Chain A
């Protein structure tokens, strides 16, 4: 007698409340990162798009080199370079409509610049004269976010709010591989999927979170696979292939705009420079690894495609480089001017309605500044007020 026969009429059923959920198969990322350049598909890419990407990539590379140089001249407190990641930065900016929103991390000033933000304003945080150098509403670029992944729920909330208002707006949020370990990454993706918010998450997997390689960050098959757990599609793309990144992000943005909900895109790229100018990458990686990635350079990949298709002659290339030089020279010149600082700004924007305590402290600082200007230290706040009591 089998066990089932012993049980007689009783037949186990699934748990009563259980329902089959989303089929995971369509959400899974492809086995290999999506590529265009160097494949047969490259021939079909619109020359105008190639030229546009190329111009922005050359400018982007020059911007990274210039910003790094500014740290050596003491004009920037710190610069987290996106050298090697320009394809992601540029594509993220180009796929958005004007009404859309970009949510950058501190490494994404280039994306903000490619979206049209003045580089000096983009670098304000890193120069250190204020925390944000621009009005986020003007370019629809959220403030550069330093605490990792904490900007992702903001992107979800904004996209959700736009949808509630009936606005046709998509939010694109940038995060790194290290950031995917943060709780806010998880909560943001979960909220986005539950709310079907029009938001796209672009993970630039550049291999390292400062010094920690991806293998110590996650045991997931890929970062794109994490999407499946939330019920959203995951896409894997060659992050140094600007055309491929542009394609995948464009599709994700269109999907979101059409009401299809969020997408997680993992772009495989590499941080050519150290974490910042204050970091020493030789302590955790070898030169040979960097060299293999230099051979897969995002600027060179587009340049080769343009040249091979006869879309870029020497003169045109020189014009693009001259344009980038001009941008760099202008940035250098303006960053070499000392920013105008007003210490009273420290109190100006803490509250809409400042507390009496802040007003008192503001007066104290004003008195200190006045005394400083008069060159009579001691006459101000250190004076003998009340000494006779």
Chain B
């Protein structure tokens, strides 16, 4: 790979580029949502799209999330490929009935006659100092709904590739964009975006032998940082970035845990009823005889998302991750 052409881009820029390229490649792709047109979105992800493609392709809608998603359902029924933006995680809740009762079920209800290729972009998660209702991790609700795909990028390059894949997918995709990674930069050439694998494949971000950190979205950089810090303790941690909760890549996860024999699941979402419980169960079912310790979870507390001045106590950080790694029954090692 040449490094000459590479230049730093933010995740927000990569997402915007993915939308632009998808719209240019396919005239049925329509972007719609609150403030996505003239303003370019509150996170500027849709910046320039209305200007380039016109208001009919990038539409400022009335402020009503059920109406936005419901209208997108009708547009998809007529052969369009809507990409809707829910402005913030907690503002997506009014659209739940449309999502659960129609978006997730329409293909099945009609025996495949009426697929709904809708991408629902949701800026999600905490760590940006947002006031109440701006920092929720809502993935557990989505992953519990059959019929949806649930995708979360953690890198600039994945943001582009996974969003292109999501828009191209004939299945509805809830695309969770980690807000605090919007401004993360990576060396990535926007003019030569690398092709990515289909949705549903996890990736090993860091190889290690002592234990596996299973994570996704905003917690991936935190886990990588924890893995670096763990070297001082003599632990060589592997980090698996799931990239999607649905489909779930059992194979990559189980292969990693079989190698390391220990696993910690890390996510911002609350632990009780959160993705970590499902992941721990799946790992245990597949790797029981390889496990040296129970699968542990480092998750957000089971509390409503805290006010910004207290959020650092809630979010899984390096210390809490290392503390969990320390509890993986190393004393039993002989």
Q: Contact residues of A with B, CB < 8 Å?
A: 130-132, 135-137, 142-143, 147, 150, 152-162, 164-165, 171, 183-184, 187-188, 190-191, 194, 345, 348-353, 355-357
Whether B110 contacts A156 by the Cβ 8 Å rule is no
Whether B248 contacts A357 by the Cβ 8 Å rule is yes
CB distance from B242 to the nearest CB of A (A): 13
Identify the closest chain A residue to B114 (Cβ).
A136
Whether A191 contacts B67 by the Cβ 8 Å rule is yes
Give CA–CA (A356, B111) in the complex, Å. Answer: 20
Q: For A160, list chain B residues within 8 Å (CB).
A: 71, 74-75
- Helix, strand, loop or mixed for chain A's interface? helix
Q: For B80, list chain A residues within 8 Å (CB).
A: 161, 164
Give CA–CA (A118, B79) in the complex, Å. Answer: 25
Whether A194 contacts B75 by the Cβ 8 Å rule is no
Whether A184 contacts B67 by the Cβ 8 Å rule is yes
Residue B200 at the chain A interface, CB threshold 8 Å? yes
Whether A156 contacts B247 by the Cβ 8 Å rule is no
Q: A191-B62, A191-B71 are in contact. Are A349 and B108 (CB under 8 A)?
A: yes
Whether A143 contacts B108 by the Cβ 8 Å rule is no
List residues of B (159-173) whose CB comes within 8 Å of A's CBs. 169-171
Q: For A158, list chain B residues within 8 Å (CB).
A: 74-75, 77-78
Q: For A159, list chain B residues within 8 Å (CB).
A: 74
Q: A157-B75, A158-B78, A351-B171 are in contact. Are A132 and B111 (CB under 8 A)?
A: yes
Residue B115 at the chain A interface, CB threshold 8 Å? yes
- A-B contact list, 22 entries, CB within 8 Å: A131-B108, A135-B114, A136-B110, A136-B113, A142-B77, A147-B97, A154-B73, A157-B76, A157-B77, A161-B75, A164-B56, A187-B70, A191-B64, A191-B67, A350-B107, A350-B108, A351-B147, A353-B171, A353-B198, A353-B200, A356-B251, A357-B247
Whether A184 contacts B97 by the Cβ 8 Å rule is yes
Whether A157 contacts B73 by the Cβ 8 Å rule is yes
CB distance from B174 to the nearest CB of A (A): 13
Residue B61 at the chain A interface, CB threshold 8 Å? yes
Whether A183 contacts B110 by the Cβ 8 Å rule is no
Q: For B61, list chain A residues within 8 Å (CB).
A: 191
Whether B97 contacts A150 by the Cβ 8 Å rule is yes
Give CA–CA (A132, B70) in the complex, Å. Answer: 19
* Residues of B in contact with A, size category: 35 or more
Give CA–CA (A130, B174) in the complex, Å. Answer: 26
Give CA–CA (A73, B334) in the complex, Å. Answer: 71
Give CA–CA (A147, B217) in the complex, Å. Answer: 33
Identify the closest chain A residue to B282 (Cβ).
A357
Task: Give B166-196 as 1s and 0s: 1 = Cβ < 8 Å from A's Cβ atoms.
Answer: 0001110000000000000000000000000
Give CA–CA (A260, B25) in the complex, Å. Answer: 33
Q: Contact partner of A157 among B72, B112, B149, CB < 8 A?
A: B72
Given contacts A137-B114, A184-B97, 16 further A-B contacts (CB under 8 A): A132-B110, A136-B113, A136-B114, A147-B97, A153-B67, A158-B75, A161-B77, A161-B80, A183-B66, A187-B64, A190-B64, A350-B107, A350-B146, A352-B169, A353-B170, A353-B200
Give CA–CA (A104, B250) in the complex, Å. Answer: 41
Q: For B108, list chain A residues within 8 Å (CB).
A: 131, 349-350
Identify the closest chain A residue to B250 (Cβ).
A356
CB distance from A156 to the nearest CB of B (A): 5
Give CA–CA (A164, B105) in the complex, Å. Answer: 26
Residue B102 at the chain A interface, CB threshold 8 Å? yes
Whether A131 contacts B109 by the Cβ 8 Å rule is yes
Whether A161 contacts B78 by the Cβ 8 Å rule is yes
Task: Give B42-84 as 1s and 0s: 1 = Cβ < 8 Å from A's Cβ atoms.
Answer: 0000000000000010000110101101111111111110000
Q: For A357, list chain B residues within 8 Å (CB).
A: 247-248, 250
Q: For B14, list chain A residues within 8 Å (CB).
A: none
Give CA–CA (A275, B323) in the complex, Å. Answer: 59
Whether A162 contacts B67 by the Cβ 8 Å rule is no
Whether A355 contacts B200 by the Cβ 8 Å rule is yes
List residues of B (123-158) whose CB comes within 8 Å of A's CBs. 146-147, 149
Give CA–CA (A152, B250) in the complex, Å. Answer: 40
Q: For A155, list chain B residues within 8 Å (CB).
A: 74
Q: For A184, list chain B residues within 8 Å (CB).
A: 66-67, 70, 97-98
Whether B56 contacts A156 by the Cβ 8 Å rule is no
CB distance from B261 to the nearest CB of A (A): 18
Identify the closest chain A residue to B60 (Cβ).
A194
Q: Contact partner of A345 among B56, B105, B111, B147, CB < 8 A?
A: B111
Task: Give B248-291 as 1s and 0s: 1 = Cβ < 8 Å from A's Cβ atoms.
Answer: 10110000000000000000000000000000000000000000
Whether A132 contacts B109 by the Cβ 8 Å rule is yes
Give CA–CA (A190, B67) in the complex, Å. Answer: 9
Q: For B105, list chain A residues within 8 Å (CB).
A: 131
CB distance from B48 to the nearest CB of A (A): 20
Whether A355 contacts B70 by the Cβ 8 Å rule is no
Q: For B2, list chain A residues within 8 Å (CB).
A: none
